[in-house]
Amino acid sequence: MSLTQVSGHRKVVRRQRELESQIKSSAEKVGNKKIDIATGGVVDGVDVYLMKETGVWASLNPEDNESFWNLFGTEKVTRSRLHIGVQVNPYHGYGINRGLSGAFALDEAGNPFLVHRGHLYKMKTNTVLNAYSGDADFMLEPDGKVARVLVVGQVGSPEFVRQLASFVREMERIKTFRGRQDEMPNLTENTGAYSSEGSPGDGTYLRSSLEVSYKRIHCLIVDELERQMAAYGQTENDQRDLVVMQRGKQKPLLFETKSGCSTSEVYQAIGQLCYYGHRMPRKPRKSIAVFPTELAKVHEEVLKDLGFEVLKYQNKDGDITFLNLVEVLS
């Protein structure tokens, strides 16, 4: 999945109203409360809604200047004063405000998602991003940069309230490491998001000499592979990266392409090749994982031990070269 940030006042307001409607329709209003926020301030006299199914409360406040305040927590709402668990505050002004924690984003199919930038008070953003055990992805921003974000859930989905609750509890777990962040487990090994394609490098943003997004990098690789494989037979590109029916062969080739080498991407390639291969009417003759040449030897060995071929490529500013294509196809 790849995400594109929703920007512009009217578009963000529309998504915020959808969020408010879904939460309120699945919650009970429990009255006005005071809410202590992490920076030491207090939000006074705001409506609080309890999602009884999950035990998570929400306070959805009118916009403050150019942002919405969406506050969540798990404390018992019988208290007159609540402590915030996490806030997800989307910016609805013009331009970009990366200092705010929240945003709305759309996937390739146009489905709306609520996402969080990993900002927690007195915690390093990268530490939070790397420690998050839920879904993370990359989001293309209006100025062309790509940010790592935590996926709260798909707004409008029947699963959203449950997804939101899981996110709130996970952020509260991460906050328990405040003051001892060196002890926090790094679930992505500083090499990739928990469950997305792409390779973020060391920071929150992907950068290259051409400032291409991970989404474009992935497309470049798949497009070049499809172009070269057309010489061998009929190609098909759908939710699977690439399927090729070689001339003279009875079974197809299944390719899964990755633009990074993180452990999570190796996990994902294994799962996708197994899943798609199992569902194909004609089982693939070969299932081929496509990775950059920097793929760790131990990861390559695991892939081969599981019966997958490994095709390696080099990417020089968008010029893709496959190093062992003939060998893999033999």
Q: Which CATH number covers residue 274? A: 3.40.1350.10
The verdict on residue 317 lying in a domain is yes
The verdict on residue 103 lying in a domain is yes
pLDDT at 198: 33
The verdict on residue 194 lying in a domain is no
**Residues 221, 173 share a domain:** no
**Residues 112, 18 share a domain:** yes
Burial of 330 per CB tally in 10 Å (0-12, 13-18, 19+):
exposed
**Residues 219, 175 share a domain:** no
**Residues 158, 272 share a domain:** no
Q: Are 235 and 226 in contact (CB under 8 A)?
A: yes
**Residues 172, 95 share a domain:** yes
**Residues 221, 165 share a domain:** no
The verdict on residue 203 lying in a domain is no
**Residues 258, 118 share a domain:** no
Within 10 angstroms of residue 123's Cβ, the number of other Cβ atoms is: 19
In the listed set 183, 206, 229, which residue is the last one of a domain according to the structure? 183
**Residues 19, 140 share a domain:** yes
- Work out how many domains the chain is built from and give that number: 2
Q: Are 118 and 129 in contact (CB under 8 A)?
A: yes
The verdict on residue 201 lying in a domain is no
**Residues 151, 107 share a domain:** yes
Cα 287 to chain centroid, rounded? 25
The verdict on residue 258 lying in a domain is yes
The secondary structure element, H or E, covering residue 300 is helix 297-305
Going residue by residue through the chain (330 aa), what tens digit of pLDDT does each one get?
678 999 988 899 999 999 999 999 999 998 877 787 766 677 776 889 999 889 999 998 765 667 888 999 988 888 878 888 899 999 887 778 888 899 999 988 889 999 999 988 878 888 888 888 888 888 888 888 888 899 999 999 999 999 999 999 988 888 887 766 566 555 443 322 223 333 333 333 333 323 334 445 566 777 788 888 888 877 776 567 788 888 888 889 999 998 888 888 899 899 999 999 998 888 999 999 999 998 999 999 999 999 999 999 998 877 889 999 989 988
The secondary structure element, H or E, covering residue 236 is strand 233-236
Specify the 3-state DSSP secondary structure of 53.
coil
pLDDT at 83: 84
Within 10 angstroms of residue 121's Cβ, the number of other Cβ atoms is: 13
The verdict on residue 206 lying in a domain is no
pLDDT at 63: 55
**Residues 221, 175 share a domain:** no
**Residues 298, 156 share a domain:** no
> What is the DSSP pairing of strand 28-36 with strand 3-5?
unpaired
- Kindly tell me the sign of the dihedral angle through the C-alpha atoms of 201, 205, 209, 213: positive
**Residues 35, 131 share a domain:** yes
Domain range for 177 is 3-183
Q: Are 88 and 70 in contact (CB under 8 A)?
A: yes
The verdict on residue 61 lying in a domain is yes
Both tokens assigned to 244: 């090729």
Side chain identity, residue 147: A
